[in-house]
Amino acid sequence: MRSERTQVGIVGAGPAGLLLSHLLALAGIESIIVEARSRLHLEERIRAGVLEQETVDVLRETGVGARMDREGLVHHGIALKFGGKGHRIDLTELTGKGVMVYGQHEVVKDLIAARLEDGDTIRFEVEDTSVHDIASEQPSIRYAKDGLDHEIRCDFIAGCDGFHGICRPALPDDVLRVYERVYPFAWLGILAKAPPASHELIYANHDNGFALLSMRSPEISRLYLQCAPDEDIANWPDERIWEELHARLAGDGFVLDEGPIIQKSVTAMRSFVAEPMRHGRLLLAGDSAHIVPPTGAKGMNLAVGDVRVMARALEAHYAGRGSEKLDAYSQTCLRRIWKVQRFSWWMTQMLHRFDDDTPFDRRRQLAELDYVTSSRAAAQSLAENYVGLPMDWG
């Protein structure tokens, strides 16, 4: 078995693992990332792309925001559409902040490039990854690559390997607590070669279900439709998708531009939190610890918050300033995570149709949308959450 040594071993080269490694390097802390997939797969995997103000600030301040600033789209508001009418929420006027539309895979490209500039810090396409001795002072990561077994001995392990990863299940059953809600619908998402029909996102509540107009660039639209959780995408030819999008986004003279659909996918919807986010020398971050429904655009932003808290805690530890921040890591992150879970659930229940909705539920939902778009206090609460709560409550 080939063995090597580092200070922090990181499982997963998504945004959480890559940014953590980058932040640690800036603090003079060594790390190695192991990743099951190829670099090409990671850089082409399409995910959400709405960055909170603090996420934007972190990328800029740490030297990986130049391409984002050139190619990203700054948004100062969003629209809520119901009853065929759009209502703009002015994020900047209400909070002094905005958001940036910049695809997650683009963030991943920027971070991979930055990490590889620092040397051999990422092991792509590894197999049979496992973590060992997490309750000891000498945990390790083992994996196989090119027919050889490898071991990384480290001080800490960061589990940034997503919902289906191997790190969260490594926590003992009598330690791990899971909170989960699975929603009775999914999102059918498309990428289309068509200029976005709006310069800001539109969240639509319609009798047929939810729809969202988003974008990836001035030439590429990203659009979503509420559908059944077990939807067969083969039942959605392009014509049916465009017909339903036109219906759900209609009103106020709005015209949706069509174009060739270059990608289709169905995304399940769930709320999920695992507690605690630290056991021994294993710390969880990002989707390995929590999942939010995409309605509030919070998934990657939560991951950024986690690793910023983790990096600061590890920096304090290695600088000899004690273990208080490490000991408080889980509590610090979870305080923000549960607030974001609340907001994501609230946006989801306000905008989607549920199968068991009664006529009373429907009227209440429309009244809630009317209140949010007519009350400054309610709109400001939405805006404050949408642009992002503080990442470090500690």
Q: Write out the catalytic residue numbers.
A: 75, 203, 294, 298, 386
Strand pairing category for 148-153 and 221-227: unpaired
C-alpha–C-alpha distance, residues 262 and 377, integer Å: 40
What is the enclosing helix (H) or strand (E) of 387?
Answer: helix 376-387
Return the residue matching tokens 């918050």.
305
C-alpha–C-alpha distance, residues 341 and 202, integer Å: 21
What are the backbone angles phi and psi of residue 105, rounded to the nearest 5°? -65, -25
What are the backbone angles phi and psi of residue 240, rounded to the nearest 5°? -65, -40
Strand pairing category for 148-153 and 127-132: unpaired
Return the residue matching tokens 């590429």.
220
Which residues is 275 bridged to in the sheet? 177
C-alpha–C-alpha distance, residues 272 and 270, integer Å: 6
Nearest alpha-carbon partner for 124 in 10, 256, 260? 10
